[in-house]
Structure 1
């Protein structure tokens, strides 16, 4: 995943894919300041999910916004925010059955679809007259 605005410095080879969720009702600012030559700061709205790539040693600071200020409310190591990347078999979107090479059985059964029209007319109740 590329950081479009501020790419990671080239000397940072050990990167991880991370996710932070603002579970509060306040606006937060997520900032990583312990990586030299890299600026990472994002506004995270209530309920928003922030997915980003960062060095494994990065520390995320969470600043919670008040009326005219922000308070450092948490420091989280990015290795605690790592999300597991999907395996190649999880990315298969074909409706064909995938065969297990050991047991020779389908891992996921194929999707059964009926041929023909499956729609039915919609019956709507209506008001005939108002007195």
Structure 2
């Protein structure tokens, strides 16, 4: 029974370390332009995430810490923003 408890503890620790490395963060993007934008999340966990954002619109989304947000304004014009810059700061 003691060896079962140890195996369960190891499995729990492995899950905890995996969930810590894959932790999702809350981000916010605001389209401050007067143009409609298409944004695309570039990350390991989101393979096909894309949204249309209207002028003045705010979008909250969750992603991992290594993600980048690609912003497409016109055909061929785009910029890449590190999602670390879009993190929502929660106050207690």
TM-score, reference length from structure 2: 0.69
Q: How does 1:83-98 map to 2 (within 5 A)?
A: 83-87=88-92
CA shift, 1:37, in A, is 5.6
Which is strand-richer, 1 or 2?
Answer: 2
User: Is residue 43–residue 64 contact of structure 2 (8 Å, CA) maintained in 1?
Assistant: no
Greater relative contact order structure (CA < 8 Å, 6+ sep): 2
Query: Structure 2: where are the runs of 5+ without partners?
Result: 1-17
Structure with max Cα Rg: 1
Residue 73 (structure 1) aligned with residue 78 (structure 2): yes
TM-score, reference length from structure 1: 0.50
CA shift, 1:79, in A, is 0.6
The root-mean-square deviation of aligned C-alpha atoms, in Å, is 2.1
Runs of 4+ displaced beyond 6 Å: none
Q: 1:74 to 1:34 in 2, by over 3 A?
A: same
